[in-house]
């Protein structure tokens, strides 16, 4: 080997090693990190998230599961991944199939960086407004597109707008799919400044004390406020729980007596408005 090439190879090796140690060093105790990994078997299916269902994951006080819907987007997802990476945090991305098909490298980056992938349909329709066959087809196409981009299977699913139906829930359960609603959300489908969004999330988290948090990695305000939010979670004593599919039977936390579905009330209102005005329900601030 010529001397110059020897030097080049040595420098590359040194750079690789230092990058490896630098990555380990940056995940120090002052970072938010992952407090625990929660393995969830989806065998037989389940539904979690108090906004829609009377049970959620059995999280301890101050434990938070971060979930991001509707991506990936080349405009905003890289910033979200960078913010998560900087704090050594793992999240779950519920992908829209057509976005995964258009941005497979971003999906592979999510997987490579240790995040969990779930499906959020192929084209983000309000499934309740489709025929059963059309709804199933969009979900199936979404799983296929997400899994092709991720190069791995997924058994996690979230309904767009939380607009489930009893028939679709039963069908997903028969296919061993875990259905995720949310315990709280950022309302980032509304126009807000990053600081307003961050303060709203923190206020809701302090009030709820724990929960599955819904965010959107497609929203500029979310991407912009995420670094500061993760710092706030650290200083506020919140702990990140990373959910992954696996073999452990899930443990659920039941809703207090008097529970009602918040999303059902929103959907009823939005769909009534749509019927009256013949407008697109997505325009009426349905949770996305």
Tell me whether residue 160 or residue 227 sits nearer to Zn ion (CB atom): 160
Tell me whether residue 71 or residue 227 sits nearer to Zn ion (CB atom): 71
- Angle formed by the axes of helices 166-174 and 132-150, to 10°? 40
CB of 222 to Zn ion, least distance (A): 13
Tell me whether residue 70 or residue 138 sits nearer to Zn ion (CB atom): 70
Number of DSSP helices (H) and strands (E) in the chain, helices first: 9, 12
CA distance 221 to 80: 11
CA distance 119 to 96: 7
171: three-class secondary structure by DSSP: helix
CA distance 237 to 240: 10
Single out the catalytic residue among 115, 120, 124, 216: 216
Torsion sign, CA atoms 230, 149, 216, 225: positive
CB of 160 to Zn ion, least distance (A): 5
- Near Zn ion in 176-235, by CB under 5 A: none
Contact status: 288 vs Zn ion (CB under 5 A): yes
Tell me whether residue 34 or residue 163 sits nearer to Zn ion (CB atom): 163
Q: Candidates 32-40, 71-79, 136-144, 280-288 — which segment interacts with Zn ion by CB under 5 A? A: 280-288
CA angle 39, 51, 176 (to 5 degrees): 40
Tell me whether residue 120 or residue 242 sits nearer to Zn ion (CB atom): 120
Identify the CA nearest to 39 among candidates 241, 212, 239: 241
- For residue 280, give Cα distances in angstroms to 121, 284, 285, 288: 18, 7, 10, 13
CB of 144 to Zn ion, least distance (A): 18
Tell me whether residue 142 or residue 160 sits nearer to Zn ion (CB atom): 160
CB of 38 to Zn ion, least distance (A): 23
Identify the CA nearest to 52 among candidates 216, 171, 155, 181: 181
CB of 158 to Zn ion, least distance (A): 7
Among 118, 142, 160, 194, interactor with Zn ion by CB under 5 A = 160
216 is catalytic: yes
Instruction: Say whether the peptide bond before residue 72 is cis (omega within 30 degrees of 0).
Output: yes
The size of the interface with Zn ion (CB under 5 A), counted in residues, is 4
Torsion sign, CA atoms 110, 112, 113, 115: positive
CB of 288 to Zn ion, least distance (A): 4
Single out the catalytic residue among 69, 146, 183, 217: 69
69 is catalytic: yes
- Near Zn ion in 49-88, by CB under 5 A: 69-70
Residues near Zn ion (CB under 5 A) are 69-70, 160, 288
Active site residues: 69, 216
């Amino acid at each position: 080997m010529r001397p110059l090439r020897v030097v080049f190879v040595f420098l590359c090796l040194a750079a690789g090693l230092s990058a490896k140690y630098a990555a380990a060093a940056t995940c120090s105790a002052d970072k938010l990190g992952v407090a625990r990994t929660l393995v969830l078997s989806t065998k037989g299916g389940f539904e979690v998230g108090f906004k829609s269902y009377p049970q959620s994951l059995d999280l301890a006080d101050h434990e938070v599961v971060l979930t991001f819907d509707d991506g990936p987007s080349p405009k905003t997802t890289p910033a979200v991944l960078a913010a998560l990476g900087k704090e050594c945090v793992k999240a779950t991305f519920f992908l829209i199939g057509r976005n995964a098909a258009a941005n497979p490298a971003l999906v592979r980056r999510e997987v490579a960086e240790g995040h969990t992938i779930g499906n959020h349909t192929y084209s983000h329709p309000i499934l309740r407004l489709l025929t059963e066959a059309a709804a199933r087809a969009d979900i199936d196409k979404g799983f296929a597109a997400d899994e092709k981009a991720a190069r791995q299977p997924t058994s996690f699913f979230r309904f767009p707008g939380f607009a489930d139906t009893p028939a679709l829930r039963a069908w997903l359960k028969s296919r061993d799919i875990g259905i995720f609603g949310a315990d709280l959300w950022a309302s980032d489908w509304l126009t807000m400044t990053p600081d307003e969004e961050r303060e709203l999330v923190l206020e809701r988290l302090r009030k709820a004390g724990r929960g599955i948090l819904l965010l959107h990695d497609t929203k500029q305000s979310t991407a912009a406020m995420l670094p500061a939010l993760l710092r706030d979670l650290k200083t506020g004593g919140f702990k990140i729980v990373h959910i992954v599919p696996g073999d452990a039977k899930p443990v659920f936390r039941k809703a207090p007596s008097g529970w009602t579905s918040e999303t059902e009330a929103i959907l009823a209102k939005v769909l009534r408005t749509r019927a009256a005005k013949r407008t697109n329900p997505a325009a009426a601030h349905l949770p996305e």
